[in-house]
């Protein structure tokens, strides 16, 4: 194949192919002017983004009968949706689901070091010392934790908003970090996972399929995990 490409006999979408070029099943590939028909060894994973409301649990079924995030997801012809990480019952915001167990595992592995960004509303305002502690590390029952970034975003009355980023996905980590300093979190929204931000047009309880380039970026993000 490399020889054919070097000889200029292969075209991708009407232009000469180059060595190392990436193609997908959607590309039109010609060899000596004739279409090349091929089948991928594995189907590309499907990934959807979901705007989780507070009051939904991230499980396929709940003994207590509470609504679950899977109740509103589109049906798959085969396989099942797998949550890429979790949000607790009272947290809303961006969630990703895929039909690929391998992709989900890679993106959830600690080695992936994917940024998560949250909007946090707390009762009261952090002191400078509390901000410093959250950025350098606070001790939790499962080890130290810190935010990579912490930005004050204003607020009204007794409530203040902050935006924070971290690269871990421990259970209730953001809430526990604020609680460790005596601060009460009154609202928590995940607004970004890696390069994907929660789009304003995606209403609560609705989902949307990711574009191919976004899925490719997720695959690259989990490649080293």
Is residue 84 classed as helix, strand or coil in its secondary structure? strand
CA distance 201 to 155: 23
88 tagged catalytic = yes
Q: CB neighbours of 22 closer than 8 A, spacing ≥ 6? A: none
- Nearest by Cα to 102 from 112, 115, 117: 112
- Nearest by Cα to 122 from 58, 186, 202, 206: 186
Residue tagged active-site, from 32, 62, 71, 88: 88
Length of the chain: 225
The HSE-up count of residue 16 (CA atoms within 13 Å, CB side) is 9
Q: Are 124 and 160 in contact (CB under 8 A)?
A: yes
- Residue 206 belongs to what H/E stretch? none
Structure token digits, residue 208: 């949307």
Catalytic residues: 88
């Amino acid at each position: 194949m490399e020889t054919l490409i070097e000889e200029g006999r292969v075209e991708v979408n009407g232009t000469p192919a180059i060595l190392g070029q990436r193609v997908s099943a959607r590309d039109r590939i010609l060899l000596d002017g004739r279409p090349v028909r091929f089948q991928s060894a594995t189907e590309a994973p499907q990934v959807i983004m979901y705007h989780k409301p507070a009051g939904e649990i991230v499980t396929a079924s709940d003994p207590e009968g509470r609504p679950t995030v899977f109740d509103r997801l589109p049906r798959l012809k085969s396989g099942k949706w797998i949550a890429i990480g979790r949000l607790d019952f009272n947290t809303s915001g961006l969630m990703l689901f895929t039909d690929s167990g391998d992709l989900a595992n890679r993106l959830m592995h600690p080695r992936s070091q994917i940024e998560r960004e949250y909007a946090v509303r707390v009762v009261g305002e952090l002191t400078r010392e509390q901000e410093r502690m959250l950025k350098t590390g606070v001790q939790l029952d499962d080890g130290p934790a810190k935010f990579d970034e912490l930005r004050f975003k204003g607020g009204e009355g007794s409530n203040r908003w902050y935006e924070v980023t971290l690269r871990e996905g421990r259970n209730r980590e953001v809430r526990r970090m604020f609680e460790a300093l005596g601060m009460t979190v009154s609202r928590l929204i995940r607004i970004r996972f890696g390069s994907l931000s929660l789009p304003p047009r995606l209403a609560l309880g609705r989902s949307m399929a990711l574009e191919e380039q976004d899925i490719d970026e997720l695959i690259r993000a989990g490649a080293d995990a």
